[in-house]
């Protein structure tokens, strides 16, 4: 995973909190008009589980590495949000999808209800190949737990490397099997690879998914 992708993943959750006010007041980006006929069709998801299934399908097909995948209508169709924003960043693009309705229970921050789900993306291309990253943060209450994730991604996970807890982290003891679990899926072939790190809350609900993928030059 390249340094820009790593930096993106580390900052995405913090960016959700900082950007929440501006996001809720933004108008939707107009849909691009690039030909979408060669993007595999999917049903627009209405649940978080369906979002994860579309994400896994996009990973397996290498779609996240394709420049034409990052059209507004394609992003909304695959990931279920009603709005998108994006910007050019040197050799690539980054942005977010939002407007997920009640897929994940909203959070109450300073007396105001805010989305319980955020979705950030980045794609970069260069002499070392193409990299892409997705960060899906679900701090709100959801029905997607460890068992649902395992049903989508399979049982070929491994436990993530131990990490030092953040001094700002409020530790809660696990209340269910796989509570507070941190697991990793990864796969690679001669052309491309992908890596998925998934963190779970104390009650084993999904808290955070960090996805990266790379195509070799």
pLDDT in tens, 162-215: 887 777 778 889 999 999 999 999 999 989 999 999 999 999 999 999 999 999
Task: Please compute the mean of the pLDDT values over residues 112-123 and round it to a whole number.
Answer: 95
- pLDDT number for residue 36: 57
Task: Please compute the mean of the pLDDT values over residues 103-119 and round it to a whole number.
Answer: 93
Does the structure show a pLDDT above 70 at 27? no
Confidence of residue 155 (pLDDT cuts 50, 70, 90): very high
Average pLDDT, the chain: 86
Task: Please compute the mean of the pLDDT values over residues 78-90 and round it to a whole number.
Answer: 94
Confidence of residue 11 (pLDDT cuts 50, 70, 90): very low
- pLDDT number for residue 208: 97
Stretch among 20-24, 37-41, 166-170, 205-209 having the lowest mean pLDDT: 20-24
Ramachandran quadrant class, 54 (left: phi over 0; alpha: psi -120 to 50; beta: rest): alpha
Between 65 and 19, residue with greater pLDDT: 65
Does the structure show a pLDDT above 80 at 15? no
> E strand or H helix at 95, and its extent?
strand 92-98
Q: Which residues of 18-57 are buried (b: 16+ CB within 10 A; e: fewer)?
A: ebbeebeeeeeeeeeeeeeeebeebeebebbbbbbbbbbe
Does the structure show a pLDDT above 60 at 30? no
Determine the Cα–Cα distance for residues 37 and 187; give it in Å rounded to an integer.
28
* 159-163: long-range contacts, CB 8 A cutoff, minimum separation 24: 159/183, 159/184, 160/184, 160/197
- pLDDT number for residue 2: 42
- pLDDT number for residue 139: 95
Q: Please state the pTM of the whole predicted model.
A: 0.82
Does the structure show a pLDDT above 50 at 5? no
Residues forming a β-bridge with 214: 131, 193
């Amino acid at each position: 995973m390249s340094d820009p992708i790593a930096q993106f993943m580390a900052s995405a959750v913090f960016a959700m909190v900082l950007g929440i006010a501006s996001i809720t007041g933004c108008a939707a980006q107009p849909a691009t008009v690039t030909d979408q006929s060669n993007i595999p069709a999917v049903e627009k998801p209405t649940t978080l589980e369906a979002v994860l299934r579309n994400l896994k399908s996009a990973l397996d097909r290498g779609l996240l590495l394709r420049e034409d995948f990052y059209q507004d209508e394609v992003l909304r169709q695959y990931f279920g949000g009603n709005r998108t924003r994006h910007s050019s960043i040197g050799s690539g693009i980054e942005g977010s999808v939002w407007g997920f309705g009640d897929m994940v229970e909203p959070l109450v921050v300073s007396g105001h209800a805010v989305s319980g789900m955020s979705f950030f993306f980045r794609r970069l291309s260069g002499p070392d190949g193409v990299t892409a990253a997705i960060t899906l943060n679900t701090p709100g209450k959801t029905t997607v737990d460890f068992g649902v994730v395992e049903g989508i991604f399979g049982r070929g996970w491994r436990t993530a490397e131990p990490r030092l807890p953040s001094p700002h982290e409020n530790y809660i003891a696990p209340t269910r099997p796989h509570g507070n679990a941190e697991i990793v899926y990864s796969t690679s072939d001669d052309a491309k690879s992908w890596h998925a790190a998934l963190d779970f809350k104390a009650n084993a609900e999904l808290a955070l998914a960090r996805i990266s993928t790379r195509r070799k030059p």
